Structure 1
Amino acid sequence: MKEVYSSEDFKEVSARNSANRVHYPKELAHQTGSKPFRQDGNKGMKPKLVDIFHSTRKKGTSLPNVETAKKLDEIHETMEKDPSLSDVQIAQKVFNSKSRDRLWGLVEE
């Protein structure tokens, strides 16, 4: 079996590529995975349904289609009509869901 990653040629190429990537603009750097909502600048506060909905559906800085924008507006309207509702209750009303365990993992505290 050939050990590709321990060969001297591979190590040289890898070191050269790593050194070259330092000069890439940050926007071009490869990024994978997900960002926890606690890093969204909420300063330890639990994120609101509106923030979660918008940040998980936006393309760049705007929403991708009219239906998504309408749902976001509906969430805003529901929150304004009855501010005492929790995020789970708002999601149940807006998305017509009777099952609490299938609403994006929102937990009522």
Structure 2
Amino acid sequence: MDLIRMIGVSARNSTNMLHYQKELAHRIGSKPFRQVIWKELGANKGIKPDLVNVFYTTRKKDNSLPNAETTQKYDEIREILEKDPSLPHVAQRVFKSKSRD
């Protein structure tokens, strides 16, 4: 009895999802860093992108950053890298650790 009910629910869900496939985008959310670095920033052509470009490209919405907090973090990263481009832990300085230790 449970198997028959499960098959009925599955078929009903499949029918309902056909309605939404036309309305919803195929992918919702942000792109993975690896995908952005490889395709958009030229890693597939041997170009090594810096942290500033990766941060901006993964967070931009229509060629601008979405809010003041993101813009502030972007500016902090740029300032730190301008002062010392060899600094290996820029992200740790800009994004304070939220762990308890």
TM bracket, shorter-chain basis: 0.5 to 0.7
RMSD between aligned residues: 2.6
TM-score when normalising by structure 1:
0.52
In structure 2, what is the Cα distance between the partners aligned to 1:63 and 1:40? 17
Judging by fraction of residues, say which structure has more helix: 2
Would the aligned equivalents of 1:38 and 1:46 in 2 still touch at CA under 8 Å? Answer: no
In structure 1, C-alpha distance between the alignment counterparts of 2:49 and 2:26, rounded to whole Å? 23
Task: Tell me the CA shift for residue 31 of structure 1.
Answer: 5.2
Per the normalisation by structure 2, the TM-score is 0.56
Q: Deviations over 1:27-86 (max 9, x none)?
A: xxx653846121114232232211121111111111111111111000000001111112
Instruction: Mark the runs of 5 or more structure 2 residues left unpaired by the alignment.
Output: 1-6, 8-24
Is the aligned partner of 1:92 residue 2:87?
A: no
Q: Distance in 1 between matches of 2:39 and 2:63?
A: 18
Q: Which residue of 2 aligns with 1:19?
A: none
Runs of 4+ in 1 over 6 A off after TM superposition: none
Alignment of 1:32 with 2:34, yes or no, is: no
Partners of 2:27 and 2:96 in 1: CA distance: 33
Instruction: Identify the structure with bigger relative contact order (alpha carbons < 8 Å, sequence gap 6+).
Output: 2
